Amino acid sequence: MATKLDAIRNLLMDMDGVLYRGHTPLAGAAELIHFLRGRGIRFLLVTNNSTLTPAQFAERMQKMGIPVEAEEIMTSGVATAEYLATIAPPGTKVNVVGEGGLIAELEKRGFVMAGREAQFVVCGLDKTVTYEKLKTATLAIRDGATFIGTNADKTYPLEKDLIPGAGSILAALIAATDVQPIVVGKPEPIILEQCLRLLGARKEETALLGDRLDTDILGGHRAGLTTIMVTTGIHTAEEAAAYPIQPDYLFADLPALLAAWRQALAE
């Protein structure tokens, strides 16, 4: 059963399509952060995007007037590195198809970048992917390396277009190896469970706020969280109505969510 808005003590929030779109802040984004801080509601921003580090995301949002810190951001890159650290010791060789944000998180935990001889292949969104990178990762997986994906989003939304996402690169490696990766990002539970642990949060008191049905709402539902959808991003209210899993709350935008939340607290 969904938790009432006034009983929510922790909030996991998606970023793109919720707080901003592209480089434009969405209405109510800064106000929501101030509201949560003022009410002592703990929160984490959770993104499947592994290309930037939390510090880089924080800087980007601060420039848009959204006052968040690096420590308040969980990327699929961070979650993947954390996950790997639970199954492999520092010094383990990892082959990466991915960008700087992902490599930085893995190196921070002592993993060593490697080629075909790697014990793990970690694949995220890589806008400079080449045949050579796919070939090395394929050979490593065929040699027995464990295959991990940061997230399986097939597309990556720009302000007006959809371009290939991490899932499209994973698809190439799946085709070449016939191996399915362990996926860390939403809607898989690994990233959300890490967020709950980090906040020391109980599921019954935690909500997930997002704009996308097949990652945010499905992931939150699977993790046993209350789900809140805003229609300022990928999916519309009509698409939500047609989806097999319904968000517990649906709002047109953040100001509408804030108004309902304030009213619930005032009652």
CB of 14 to Mg ion, least distance (A): 4
The residue type found at 48 is N
CA atoms within 13 A on the CB side of 124: 27
Cβ proximity to Mg ion: between 19 and 78 the closer is: 19
- Closest approach, Cβ 106 to Mg ion, in A, equals 24
SS3 at position 103: helix
Task: Find the shortest distance in angstroms from Cβ 212 to Mg ion.
Answer: 5
The set of residues, in sequence order, having a beta carbon less than 8 Å from that of 64 and lying 6+ positions away, is: 20, 23, 24, 25, 29
Toward Mg ion, which CB reaches closer, 165 or 233? 233
Chain residues that interact with Mg ion, rule: CB under 5 A: 14, 16-17, 211-212, 233
Beta carbon nearer to Mg ion, 106 or 192 = 192
143, two tokens: 């040699």
Q: Which residue is nearest to Mg ion (CB)?
A: 17
Q: Which residues are catalytic?
A: 14, 16
Q: What are phi and psi of 192, to 5 degrees?
A: -70, -35
Please provide residue 173's backbone torsions phi and psi, each rounded to the nearest 5 degrees: -70, -35
